[in-house]
Each structure stands twice: as C-alpha cells, then as structure tokens.
Amino acid sequence: MVEKVCFSIILCLSACLTTILFPEVVYAARRCPHDKLVLNDPEKLFVFGDSYADTGNWPPTNASGSWREPFGMTFPGKPSGRWSDGRVLTDYIAEYLGLGSPQPYNLWKGDGEEKQYGMNFAYGGTGVFDYTNVDGPNMTTQINHLQQLLQQNAYAKHDLTSSVALVTSVGNDYRNYHGDILEFVESVTKQLSMNLKRIHEMGIPKVAITAMQPLGCLPFIAFATGSYPNCYEKTNDFTRLHNQMLKQRVDKLNEETDGSPFGIVDLYAAFTTALNIQNDQQPGKSSFPRRLKPCCYGKCGEVDDESGKKEYELCDDPKKAFFWDMAHPSQQGWFAVYSALKPSLPHLFHCEQATPIV
C-alpha cells in the first residue's frame, strides 16, 4: 500500500466505530461441482490490485520509491518495482502454483514468451475507484486491460479457463473516505463484488480476493495514534467491518454462481498469526524482533536533492523485520504471511472434483 491512510479517518473511525466489534471471520472452503471444470494445475495467474501485489507496474521513469534503492535489496538485488526489499504476495502465490511470477503489464513488450505465466495488472496506490490524488489505473481499468488483450488475441479463451486470478484490496480507497462510513464501506465492497464477477465471467474459473490486513497494525498508523508498539484497536475494528461486508458479498456471489468460484485470502488472520497478535493490547511474542518497527524507517528510498543525504534509516537485517517500510511487509514478512495462508490455498486456487453420490 503506497499511500498513507489519512489520520483524519482514524479519528473519525474512533468515534463512529468504537462499538462495532466483529468476531474473527472464518472463510469456509467449498468444492467445485463434480460436473464442472476440474482445475488441478492452473497454467496462468492474472493479478489485479495494489502495491501488495504490484511487481513492477509503476513506471521506472516515475522515479517512485519502488524503483529506488534500497527497495529490492534482498530480491532481486536491485529495485524492481516491488514495494518491499524482495518478493511480495504475488511472487509467493505464483510459486505455490508452480508458476513464474506473471509479467507486469506495463513492462510487457508484446513478447509471447513473457506472458506465459499470465499477467500482473496491479498498480501500487490504486483502489476500486478513481481519485484525483491517485495517478494510476483503478481496478476496473486493470480489468479492461485484460479485456483488451483478449480482443487483441494476446490471450485465447483457453488461457483464461485454465488460469486463476488474485485480487488485492488493502485499503487505498479509505484514505478518500467521506460521508457515512457504513455507506462508503458498502460502496467499496459492492464494487469489489462487481469486479470479481466480471473477472469470472471473462472465463477465469477461480478468483480469490484478499481480506484487508489489520490496518491498525501498520507502522504508520500505530505510530500516528501513539499505540506503538501495539496495534491500534479501533482501526482494526474498522478493518473487520470491511472484511465482514466483503465476506457477505463473496458468499452471495458463490450462492448465485455455479461452482462457488470465489474465495477470500485471509490477510487479516495471516498477519495476526505471523505477528502473533493475540489481541491488540497484549501481543504475544513474535518471531520478528522488529515486530511493528519497519526495517526502512522514514521516507524510504528518498534522498534530499540538495545534500544527497538519505531521508531514511535502514536496519541491519531485513529478515528480522516483519515490515519493510511504514505500510508494506518485508520479504520475510510476506513469507511468514504466505506460510500462514498456505493451508487454505488449495481451496482458493484449485477446483476439487466432488465424489459422485451413488
């Protein structure tokens, strides 16, 4: 997540959501009907979303943080457009599927071999809607890009029917929150539902979307609210509200669609497991010595134009930090999240043939 959620949102949420408490969401896996497509080994991965999935769609000429040192210092050893010191969620999901990480759309040169693992349309900082302060394609436009590739015959129908999709939505829209918070959450999750349905109707049999990570545990929110080294509970209440509404939308989609093709990648649970957050006030012992303290502290990647002095501090070992910067996990953080997610991935990205009733 490139952006910073406005501090004013936090104050508003503290007032209007204090009493809204939701239990941990359990995302049940469902099998595809035995008479439908059995997708055991997806051939391609198509990715839509934001910086948690972006592997290089921000243009290098933009001189954005993801293309500046020390980003990419762990993998691939230099800045690659990933918002981390190394691999991000897309890379680990692709590895799980036995695929290479899909080509970033903005770096694609039209080569057939480059698109063999699918395509990544995710663009850091974007959300489901357009905003004047966001310079990048929203999720609808990202899906349009795939539609254009189909129309140009860059991909055939079979390429989609033998593929899966990953969609990330980690809170960018909420920095532009205005009006009634419940109505805004409803509008965001409704649009996400429409996007998921459209992706599936294009031919992709399995579409997984991320639940929102515990926003109150992101370093910039924990620091801004004075909660550090703990998470900010009231913002996490809001996160659970979003996730509950998203689950309701996904459940409804599955009820209306043959094969229950939609699933939720539970980043909320995976983050709390990786950080060993038993509750916001009394966190358990984490395997990360720098639990909420980012490895790259300050304006990561920024250098003063006049003095040439770095405007950030860098830790000695990114492997000891769950967070790379004020909003994004490190490669080791993402690996811990992936490890927590791994048991749920077969149900999210594979169709299992049901046993016929005799």
Residues forming the active site: 51, 325, 328
- Given a contact cutoff of 8 angstroms between Cβ atoms, the answer to whether 95 and 86 are in contact is no
Separation CA 325–CA 290 (nearest Å): 12
- Comparing CA positions, the residue from 62, 95, 92 lying closest to residue 329 is 92
Separation CA 177–CA 235 (nearest Å): 14
The two tokens of residue 26 are 């359990």
The two tokens of residue 266 are 């539970």
Count of beta carbons in the 10 Å neighbourhood of residue 145? 15
Report the largest interatomic distance among the alpha carbons of the chain, rounded to a whole angstrom: 77
| Residue 18: burial class (beta carbons within 10 Å; 0-12, 13-18, 19+) | exposed
| Residue 26: burial class (beta carbons within 10 Å; 0-12, 13-18, 19+) | exposed
Return phi, psi of residue 273, to 5°: -70, -45
Separation CA 340–CA 267 (nearest Å): 9
Using DSSP's 3-state secondary structure scheme, residue 164 falls into strand
CA distances from 199 to 143, 196, 207, 253, 259 (A): 7, 5, 7, 12, 15
- Comparing CA positions, the residue from 330, 290, 270 lying closest to residue 75 is 330
Separation CA 168–CA 265 (nearest Å): 9
